[in-house]
Amino acid sequence: MFKVTAAAANQVRQAAQQSGAEGMALRLAAHKQPDGSFDYRMGFDEITEEDIRFNTESIEIIMAPEYAPLLDHTTLDFAQLESGESEFIFINPEDANYSPAAAH
């Protein structure tokens, strides 16, 4: 199951408001790279008939069925990095770049 933290949900709502995408779902995608790391994509989009849909932290999430196995057990967070900047991060135990220490 894909999860969204409260911090990420707040940031998604702010981004939707700032971009005029309120009422749209958050579309997620992931591609596994040859080295085992993942490339993640997200953006606001319209729901299609083929999409997998669910709601977490009051955020409607959609994805094409082929991405569900890659994003299962993943958490979307919004965190402050060492550089002092904040950004969305995907915490995915299947990603070669996953670090249990970074997940806490």
CATH number, domain containing residue 54: 2.60.300.12
pLDDT of residue 25: 97
Does residue 98 belong to any structural domain of this protein?
no
Q: How many helices (H) and strands (E) does the chain have?
A: 2, 7
Does residue 68 belong to any structural domain of this protein?
yes
Does residue 54 belong to any structural domain of this protein?
yes
Does residue 73 belong to any structural domain of this protein?
yes
Kindly tell me if the per-residue pLDDT of 103 is higher than 60. Answer: no
What is 68-103 written as a DSSP string? HHHHTT-EEEEEE-TTS-EEEEEE-TTSTT--TTTT
Say if CB 41 and CB 30 are below 8 A apart. yes
Using 50, 70 and 90 to split pLDDT, how confident is the model at 101? Answer: low
pLDDT of residue 81: 82
Using 50, 70 and 90 to split pLDDT, how confident is the model at 52? Answer: very high
Domain count for the chain, please give it: 1
Does residue 66 belong to any structural domain of this protein?
yes
9: containing domain: 3-91
Place of tokens 């806490």: 104
Is the model's pTM score more than 0.85? yes
